[in-house]
Structure 1
Amino acid sequence: MNYLRTAILLAGMTALFMAVGFLIGGRSGMMIAFVVAAGMNIFSYWNSDKMVLSMYGARQVDRASAPEFVGMIEELAQRAKLPMPRVYIMDNPQPNAFATGRNPENAAVAATTGLLNSLSREEVAGVMAHELAHIRNHDTLTMTITATLAGAISMLANFGMFFGGGRDENRPFGALGTIAMVILAPLAAMVVQMAISRSREYEADKLGAEICGQPLWLASALAKISNAAHQVPNMEAEHNPATAHMFIINPLSGARMDNLFSTHPNTENRIAALRELAARMGVGRGPAPSAPRSGGAWGDTGGAVPPRRGPWG
């Protein structure tokens, strides 16, 4: 089902890409856009994860450089019955995280230093279990390709602002068409992102809570991340807004958007759903009082790391 959804998404984004090309250059522009879109679809399938990780300057870590964090991911992956993903850390003060990769065998998880330094170990476990849930649900291919193509469509629309020109047989809608394209193309790309975002976040919250065994760990983390996201800027995300839907919480620190145009479900609703899940599971215990990391990233820069406490839950 996820592969069918991805195929439909690729077809829709290709059509949108061709429509923008038509508005810029008529039939010839549409054909050029089709060739470019086809090439991008192939390239994105194999390399979109590397592109996104590169955008955020993510560096891969292992047990030698970040033993506590990598050990946690390994433990959670075993609980989720997943292959061990590649693990990355982003040097960014905003607490946030995302997962990427075309399938569970070629997946990666990435967390910011802000997440590792400001949340408790239990809250970080809830967040990373959520990201592993995206991998197990095969969401990451759709999420990552959407980020790549939506960014390309927005770039093409901006290109049209400068080269749209007047009305003729090659540019049938003239300046009016160019203006409409510049406004509507990025909006249409965002609508596609929204269509795949809200339900998958609720599903990943639920499965992630089951993986770590404590829904309230994730609920507490969501509250902290949401509060920080509007106070601590994520400049890489601001420069690449088409990737915002990949994160566990919208990383863009602009004014609050109307729910219709939000890439994520309302955080309060997600927390309420997790609390209901905790009640059904019979676990009412919130995060244990382990301290956030005051320096270093779980061993990555030599910071103090609390001892592991055994199995989750």
Structure 2
Amino acid sequence: MNYVRTGLLLAGLTALFGAVGMMIGGQQGMIIALLFAGAMNVFAYWNSDAMLLRMRSAKQVDDRTAPELVSMVRDLARNAGLPMPKVYVIENPQPNAFATGRNPANAAVAATTGLLKLLDRNEIAGVMAHELAHVKNRDTLTMTITATIAGAISALANFAMFAGMFGGNRSENNNPLGGIGMILIAILAPMGAMIVQMAISRTREYDADRIGAEICGHPLWLASALAKLDKGVHAIPNMEAERNPATAHMYIANPLSGKGVDNLFSTHPNMANRIAKLQEMASGLTGQGSGGHGAAARPASARPASQKGPWGGSQPASRPTQPATKPRRRTRPWN
């Protein structure tokens, strides 16, 4: 299903890219745009993840520079049955995270310093498990190529706006809509690209929440993290994401300002709805446990988390599933 969804998304974006090219430059413009989009898809498949990490000035960390964080991701990846991804830290005060990579063997997870400072260990584990769920579902390929093509459509729309405003009658020789049509393209094309992005993003986030909770074994860890992230992303702006909104759908929480409601133009589901679903999932696991069938009914990916802590140490069986509410001293995982 993920392969079909990826193909439909890329086909829709490519068609939109070609349509905009036709409106700007007629049939010749459409052909050039489609060829360019095809080449961009190939380029994005191999390079979009590295481009995104460079855009965010992400720094790769390892067992020497961030031992706790890397050890945690390694254990979670093992729970998920995934190869060990590369781990990156982004110097940004807004708490957020994302995953990227064309397949599980070439995946990377990244967290901002704001997230690592705000969340406790259990909550960070929940967030990293969510990102690994994207890798497991191969959503990372969809997200990175979508961001690349959507950004190209926005650039093409800006060209249309410039041509419509300053091209005069010359624009009518290349497209049937004239200068006013060019301006309309500049407005509508990015909206179309955004709608295509949103067509799968909400369901994808719900799926990643569910599978991430199974990977770490504790839905309430992720629920607690989402509650803190919801407040943090609204309190602290992410100027890099604001300058390039085409990548907003890749983050666990929408990094853009003014996107807190679950409306037509939101790339993420309402955070309260996501938290409610995780709490419902936790209640279901508790109910199964009380009936004596929890161990058998719980997903296989969740069971190892009760035996080994997500930061590499042993975890007592009696450890509560809810994150600790009292502040505690801890070593920052990127130090």
Residues 24-59 of structure 1: CA deviation (Å, up to 9, x unaligned): 222222122112111101000111111111111111
Aligned mates of 2:215, 2:181 — CA distance in 1: 49
Structure 1 runs not aligned, ≥5 long: 303-313
Q: What is the match of residue 212 of structure 2?
A: 208
Matches of residues 71-110 of structure 1 in structure 2 within 5 Å? 71-110=71-110
SS at match of 2:206: helix
Closer/same/farther in 2, CA of residues 71 and 119 from structure 1, 3 Å limit: same
Distance 1:247 1:152 in 2: 20
Work out the CA distance in 1 between the residues paired with 2:5 and 2:282.
Answer: 31
Tell me if 1:235 matches 2:271: no
Q: Does the C-alpha gap of structure 1 residues 291 and 75 become closer, same or farther in structure 2, counting only changes over 3 Å?
A: farther
Between the aligned partners of 1:258 and 1:207, the Cα distance in structure 2 is 22
Residue type of the partner of 2:235?
A: Q
Say whether residues 1:199 and 2:203 are aligned partners.
yes
Matching residue of 1:181:
185
Q: Is the 8 A contact 2:260 2:270 kept in 1?
A: no
SS at match of 1:102: coil
Partner residue of 2:303? none
CA contact (8 A) 2:90 2:113 kept: yes
* Cα root mean square deviation, aligned: 1.7
Deviation digits for residues 128-169 of structure 1 (CA, Å, limit 9, x no counterpart): 000001111111100111011101101110111112333534
Instruction: Identify the range of structure 1 (282-291 vs 166-175) with the bigger mean alpha-carbon deviation.
Output: 282-291
Do the aligned residues in 1 keep the contact of 2:201 with 2:249 (CA within 8 Å)? yes
1:33 is matched with 33
Residue type of the alignment partner of 1:73? V
1:292 Cα deviation (Å)? 6.9
CA distance in 2, matches of 1:73, 1:199: 24
| Aligned twin of 2:21 | 21
Secondary structure in 1 matching 2:235: coil
Q: Which residue of 2 aligns with 1:59?
A: 59
Give the distance between the partners of 2:22 and 2:143, measured in 1 at CA.
26
* Cα distance in 2, alignment partners of residues 222 and 123 from structure 1: 9
| CA deviation profile, 1:13-34 (whole Å, cap 9, x unmatched) | 1111111112222222212211
| Residue 258 (structure 1) shift | 5.7
Contact 1:232 1:253 in 2 (8 A): no
Cα distance in 2 between the residues matched to 1:128 and 1:3:
23
> Within 2, Cα distance between the matches of 1:112 and 1:225?
12
Change (3 A) 1:291 1:121: farther
CA distance in 1, matches of 2:131, 2:262: 25
Q: Structure 1 stretches (4+) deviating beyond 4 angstroms? A: 255-258, 289-294
| TM alignment of 1:216-231, pairs within 5 A | 216-231=220-235
* Paired residues of 1:99 and 1:134 also in contact (CA < 8 A): yes
Which position in structure 1 is the counterpart of 2:254? 250
Distance apart, 1:176 and its partner CA: 2.2
Report the number of matched residues: 299
TM-score, L = length of structure 1: 0.91
Q: Deviations over 1:195-241 (max 9, x none)?
A: 11011111110111111111111001001101111110111100110
Tell me the amino acid that sits aligned with residue 177 of structure 1. G
Counterpart AA for 2:208: A
Cα distance between partner residues in 2 of 1:179 and 1:168: 12
What SS class does the counterpart of residue 260 from structure 1 fall into?
Answer: coil
Q: Given the two structures, how large is their TM-score scaled by the length of structure 2?
A: 0.85
- The answer as to whether partners of 1:92 and 1:112 remain within 8 angstroms in 2 is yes
Shift of 1:291: 4.3
- From 284, 294, 315, give the equivalent of 1:280: 284
Separation of aligned partners in 2, 1:24 and 1:259: 31
Residue ranges of structure 2 left out of the alignment (5+ in a row):
290-319
- Larger CA Rg, structure 1 vs 2: 2
Structure 1 residue 193: deviation in Å? 0.8
In the alignment, is residue 149 of structure 1 matched against residue 156 of structure 2?
no
Which amino acid letter does the alignment assign opposite residue 52 of structure 2? V
Distance (whole Å) between structure 1 residues aligned to residue 30 and residue 157 of structure 2: 13
Counterpart amino acid of residue 211 in structure 1: I
Decide whether the 8 Å contact of 1:120 with 1:289 is kept in 2: no
Once the two structures are overlaid, the 10-residue window that deviates more, 219-228 or 248-257, is 248-257
- Identity level (%): 64
